[in-house]
Amino acid sequence: MHVCEHCDHQRSDELSKAIHLRLGYRGYLGNLDELTAKRHSYIDFAHHLNGILFRLLRDDFVLEEELSVFVGRPSATPVMRADSVLVTSFGLFVIARISASGLITSDEQRGELGASHGLGNREVFSYQDPTPVAGALKLVLRDLAFPVEAVTIFDNPACQLAKTLPLNMLKLCELQHFLRVKEEQMRGFYRRVDTEGIYRRLRACCNRPMQGKH
C-alpha cells in the first residue's frame, strides 16, 4: 500500500506539536509524601546504575530522573512516564525500573507480567512499558539521526527472567553487557555524537510545549 510521504510527515509534525515532555517531578505530583517515597525508592537504584555506567562509560553519559509524556495541555495528567533517561554518545535509552521477585514471565495481557514463587503460586502485576515513552521522544527528536530505545530493568538480584521475555528486559547486572552490545551495533549505522550536545537538545525539548523542530 502506497503511503504519501508528505501526508505522513504532516501527521508526524502535528502529533509532535501535541506532545509535551517533562523531566523531573515538577507539576504533577502534588502529594509530598508520595513524592518523598518515590524519590527514596529510586535513590538506591540510581546509585547502582551510576556505578555500572561509570565503569563502562566513565564520564561520557548523563542520567536524568523521571520523564513524563503529556498529550494536549502540558498541565494535564501525564499519559506515560519512565523512571530515567540515559544519554550516551551512541543512543538515548528510556528506562523503566521494576522491583519484583520470583520467576518473571510474560502475560497474555498487555502491560502485565507474571511472577512465580513456587508450584501453583503465581501473581500477575502491571508495569509501565517505556516503549511508548521512547516512541514519543523519538518523534520529537525525529530530525536527529540518533537511536532512541526503551529498556526495562529489574533491580531485584534475586529475581529470574524467563527466556521468553523481550531482549530489552534485563536484570541490573546485565546492563553493562547490554550497553556494550548496543554500542557495537550502533557503530556501523550511526556516527558517535557529543553526549552533552544531545543532552542539551533533550533539555530544550522538555519542560515546555513543543513547537515543531528546534
Q: Give me the domain span that covers residue 46.
A: 5-209
The rounded distance, in Å, linking the Cα atoms of 193 and 92 is 11
Is 214 inside any structural domain? no
Give the pLDDT confidence score for residue 8 in this predicted structure: 44
Q: How many domains does the chain have?
A: 1
Is 150 inside any structural domain? yes
Within the chain, what is the greatest distance between any pair of CA atoms?
A: 56
C-alpha cell recorded at residue 205:
525539548
| Displacement of CA 200 from its chain's centroid (Å) | 18
Is 85 inside any structural domain? yes
Give the pLDDT confidence score for residue 190 in this predicted structure: 67
Is 96 inside any structural domain? yes
Q: What is the pTM of this model?
A: 0.82
Residue with cell 509532535: 16
Is 70 inside any structural domain? yes
Give the pLDDT confidence score for residue 1 in this predicted structure: 41
Give the pLDDT confidence score for residue 26 in this predicted structure: 63
Task: State the 10-residue block means of pLDDT for the chain, 214 residues long.
Answer: 43 58 68 75 88 93 88 63 91 94 88 88 90 89 86 95 95 95 81 82 70 34
Contact 60, 110 (CB under 8 A): no
Give the pLDDT confidence score for residue 63 in this predicted structure: 93
Give the pLDDT confidence score for residue 77 in this predicted structure: 60
| Displacement of CA 209 from its chain's centroid (Å) | 20
From the list 50, 82, 56, the residue with the least C-alpha distance to 184 is 56
Q: What residues pair up with 101 in beta bridges, in sequence order? A: none
Is 87 inside any structural domain? yes
